[in-house]
């Protein structure tokens, strides 16, 4: 993983549009312009990482500190690379970081998105939901889950 730069914005906005296309279309919410605009308005290169495999970008994830928690957003894996446990590895790596321990991590995922299963498998629980979004969170344990 590498930290993103402002120059990555359009490529990542396109990735978001591609990854969310099926779910947003199913929900009747896909808008070619808005799907990219929503990314641009919340993109912060300081808190966004590019996920690379075999030398090319396969996804991204943003992890933003809030008062007493972290917001996980813009977690997209290119469809060609989904189902290869990349998401699981990336999330486990982030959740094991020192500064995250003892904090709550919040996220939202689209209704019906297969990504929800990944979050549930890693211990995220449902907070609230509406017809479009599912809001989930997890309190990260103080102690590391892995032996280093």
pLDDT (tens digit per residue) in 2-41: 999 999 999 999 999 999 999 999 999 999 999 999 999 9
Kindly state whether residue 16 falls inside one of the protein's structural domains: yes
The tokens 């779910």 sit on which residue?
23
Give per-residue pLDDT as tens, 45-58. 999 999 998 889 99
Q: Is residue 144 part of a domain?
A: no
Q: Residue 23 is part of a domain; what is its CATH number?
A: 3.40.630.30
Whether pLDDT at 146 is above 70 = no
pTM for the whole structure: 0.91
Residue 10 lies in a domain: yes
Residue 42 lies in a domain: yes
Q: Which two tokens stand for residue 132?
A: 């479009």
Q: Specify the number of domains making up the chain.
A: 1
Average pLDDT of every residue of the chain = 93
Do the domain assignments include residue 146? no
Owning domain of residue 53: 2-139
- Summarised one tens digit per residue, pLDDT across range 70-91 is 999 999 999 999 999 999 999 9
Q: Within a domain: residue 49? A: yes
- Cβ burial, residue 48 (10 Å; 0-12/13-18/19+): buried
Whether residue 33 is contained in a domain is answered as yes
Question: Could you say which DSSP state residue 141 is in?
Answer: P
């Amino acid at each position: 993983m590498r930290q993103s730069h402002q120059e990555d914005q359009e490529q990542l906005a396109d990735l978001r549009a591609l990854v969310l296309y099926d779910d947003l279309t199913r929900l009747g919410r896909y808008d070619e312009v808005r799907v990219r605009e929503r990314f641009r308005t919340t993109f912060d290169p300081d808190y966004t990482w590019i996920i690379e495999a075999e030398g090319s970008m396969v996804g991204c994830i943003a992890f933003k500190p809030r008062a007493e928690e972290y917001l996980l957003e813009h977690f997209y894996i290119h469809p060609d690379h989904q189902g290869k446990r990349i998401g699981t590895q990336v999330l486990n790596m982030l959740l094991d970081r020192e500064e995250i321990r003892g904090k709550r991590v919040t996220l939202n995922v689209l209704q019906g998105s297969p990504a929800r299963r990944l979050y549930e498998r890693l211990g995220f629980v449902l907070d609230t939901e509406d017809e479009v979004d599912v809001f989930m969170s997890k309190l990260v344990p103080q102690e590391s889950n892995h032996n280093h």
